[in-house]
Chain A
Amino acid sequence: MIVSVRDLTIGFRGDDRDLVAVDRISFDVEEGETFVIIGESGSGKSLTGMSIAGLQPRIAFVSGSILFKNREALNQPDAELRRIRGAEIGLIYQDPLGSLNPVWPVGNQIAETLTAHGLARPAAAMERAIEMLDRVHIPDPARVAAAYPHEISGGMRQRAMIAMALAASPSLLIADEPTTALDVTIKAQILELLAEVKREMSLTVILITHDMGVVAEIADRILVMYAGRIAEIGSADEIMLHPSHPYTAALMTSAMISETPAKQELNAIVGGIPGLDALPSGCRFHPRCPRAKADCVTAEPRRREFGAVEVACFHPIVAEAVAPARTGRGAS
């Protein structure tokens, strides 16, 4: 296991009480797999992913344990974490234009990953930056290296960000909604690219998204989060074929609407994610759940094994012979 999370809790201190955004979640990420954390916005998925690198917001408090390569990474002194970030953990984000420094050429920003960690001198780092740009299939990498972020296209920016994250050959890549802001065609290209570099560089990838299409493309294992808790966790094949948690099922269905026009009955999920100060009792999904019973309101369902996956639900869906139309899985 390259990452091992135990009882991770992330919250914000309020005037009279604390607001908990991630509530004691635990999971492992195996080396070499593509681990996807999926949920709507507000589920706590980004906080979780970012906290692995210690990049949760400064005002948040965090507790629990995060082991990275068997070393505790949670609440460590910043100097420690800085050594790991960039060199052992690479990160890419949703908005490549905002996430890149507007006043520096792209190449310099990539090279900086290396020079800041003392891995190369400036000239060599720049060469490597151009190399990386080439690796992520950017045409004319030398020109792009000298360009500013606003001068290149969105797709190229995301590729450049990937190049920047991987320049120092980290073992883990955390990708926070990397395709959300991209066109459909570019989305597919970026996902392909991620799969490719993962293979070539023997990476472990933790990908955070709300987009089921992304999951279908590249996930090995999936963690479904809802309102700060784990709904379901297991292998991607299993979960996609036989979603056990009602929330997972709803996610699958709403994603499949666009893929199978025949399913016209809108199974849209009613309602929205609860705010942190108005969390439902018991199972947090119960107000929106079509299968909710009395016990769902009073008690919090503990995570337990259910068939081939783990699920936190009192009344999970038993596997039916559902064969949803899915896009073919990219090499993973």
Chain B
Amino acid sequence: MSESPVAPLRIGGGSAFFNDRLDAALELVEHGRIDVLMVETLAERTLAQLQAGRNGGQPGYFPRLADRLETLLPACHRQGTRLVSNGGGAATQDAAAMAHRVATQAGLRGTVVAAVLGDDVAELVRQADPVLLETGERASRLATPMLSANAYLGAAPIAEACRAGAHVVLTGRVTDSALALGPLLAHFGWTALDDLACGIVAGHLLECGGQATGGYFADPGVKDVPGLDRLGFPIAEVAADRSIRISKPPGTGGRIDRHVITEQLLYEVHDPARYITPDVVLDLTDVTLQQEGPEQIRLTGMRGHPAPDTLKVLIGVAAGQHVEVEISYAGLGARGRAELAADIIQRRLARNRLRDVPIRYDLMGVNALALPGRDVQSLPEVRLRVAARCPDLAAAELLVTEVESLYVNGPAGGGGVRFSIRAAVRTLTTFLPAADVSTRIDYLEVR
């Protein structure tokens, strides 16, 4: 008796960062016929920032996650869509409790929320005291206290939560692609390396949401993308034969072709033959793309090699105050006046406590983005930007004062001073034996 082949699994890429378009995610659930909604929220520094916020009495996950779940969970419940997200941030248990509250208040009886725990390895780092990639020294030698230490977990605990029937799976730090691979492992029972590689590619294409459907691609008149104001988020239909079809909800804006998909396939990849994840080392060199329709492309040829026996760990440390102040000059000679303003600031800072602070001057509209030393035509307006990394808030405020006082003491016609000061976080990298990092899953059911 032969088993009928397992049906493909359709996964929607619902978010590329914590503040991404909610309407596009909702459209995926309501009109994308998806089995899984993947909601990616954590950039490299985000967790350290959330942890710092948590230490200061904030929730430890994005406060707006609650609003998002209030919109998405009822729709997912209606459509039978599983939501998988790293939105647990630095407080996955608390986020799961919040998701449980949201589902309870919405009357979504039977909803099971899973919290994948174990990415917080701060205690392990204190004990093992590993060498850091960037400094070449042990973690205990850091000049400033560690804010956070999180291991990139793989797909296994997510798969386990899916197999246990969880409707909402929340994690902290996992590889973005594990958010897709986990449900695929549970669905297909995959174990072969090439299978895992296929799942990683699906996740990698989905983890930046609209970047796989024409977002971050348009160059008017050169490479156009229709309907960017109603860009549809991507759907990966992954089949048992290790192929991926990328499409998007019908009637949405965007573009899916070799050009868009290739840009995203290689996005943030270093060696395309060795993209390292905790689940598999991915080889993209044999991947081929086949256009199947105006808005559908098929990928095959993903290959996998054994994963390393270590997990990458990101350590966040406080790094003083990042301050930016700007002032604008207009009309003929604007550039000269902006340069005079910068010169005044430079001379004054050399005489006060900001003397040794790392500082940068840009003339925006002239050289803030261009290559150094390549002159461009001076423009009718120039905005001086002064950016610095200060040891403390008082020093940052001193720089703001210096630029602000250019209003009355600097060159003629300076206007539009704006500033921002924020606590800066630095992330450092290390590795821990995967076997030393244990994971746990908590389940909460809405009764």
Asked if A pairs with B, the answer is: no
Residues of B within 8 A of A (CB): none
Residues of A within 8 A of B (CB): none
